[in-house]
Amino acid sequence: MRGLAGILLAAGLAAPAAGQSLLDRVQGLYYPDLPGTRWDCRTLGGDGGALGVVGAQVIGVETTCTLSEPFPIPGMDAVRFRATCAGEGTTWDGGYRIVMPTDRGLLQVVEGNAYEWLRCPG
């Protein structure tokens, strides 16, 4: 039984480090992969502006979600986070989201939907 407890303890200690490591690698500005739309990679979080990962926050259009409770996905370069979101004077539980770097930017899976953000040039 001590062996299992040690494994579970080590996995719990590795989760924050893995989550921070992934967040460190995906810091920056992005725009959504939506053909026919124009996004400006200079302004963060406004209509038509860039989307971003800054620290442990995912910044969207007039919405910011703070990521916590990292849980590495076994066998993948991905981490599941709990999101607490705020925007337009309201806060809410953003549920869980999976964050994964891609060759072109960043993939997020939120409530069963996958969203790819492309890295802004620069």
What's the rounded Cα separation, in Å, for the pair 81 and 53? 13
Write down the mean pLDDT value for the chain.
86
Predicted pLDDT of residue 4: 45
The predicted pLDDT at position 39 comes to: 86
Question: What percent of the residues of the chain are helix, what percent strand, and what percent coil, each to the nearest 5?
Answer: 20, 50, 30
Q: What is the pLDDT of residues 9-46, one digit of tens each?
A: 444 444 666 677 899 999 999 998 888 888 889 889 88
pLDDT single digits (tens) 89-114: 999 999 999 999 999 999 999 999 99
Question: Domain count of the chain?
Answer: 1
| CA-based max dimension of the chain | 57
- Tell me what pLDDT residue 104 has: 94
Task: Give the C-alpha separation, 40 to 30, whole Å.
Answer: 9
pLDDT confidence band for 53 (50 / 70 / 90): very high
- Tokens 């124009």 map to which residue? 38
Parent domain of 79 = 2-119
Q: What is the pTM of this model?
A: 0.80
- What is residue 47's predicted lDDT score, i.e. its pLDDT? 86
Q: What is the DSSP string of 73-99?
A: PTTSS-EEEEEEEEETTEEEEEEEEEE
Q: Which residues make Cβ contacts (< 8 Å) with residue 78, sequence separation at least 6?
A: 22, 72, 98, 99, 100
Can you give the pLDDT at residue 11? 42
> Can you tell me the distance from the alpha carbon of 59 to that of 52, in angstroms, rounded to the nearest whole number?
5
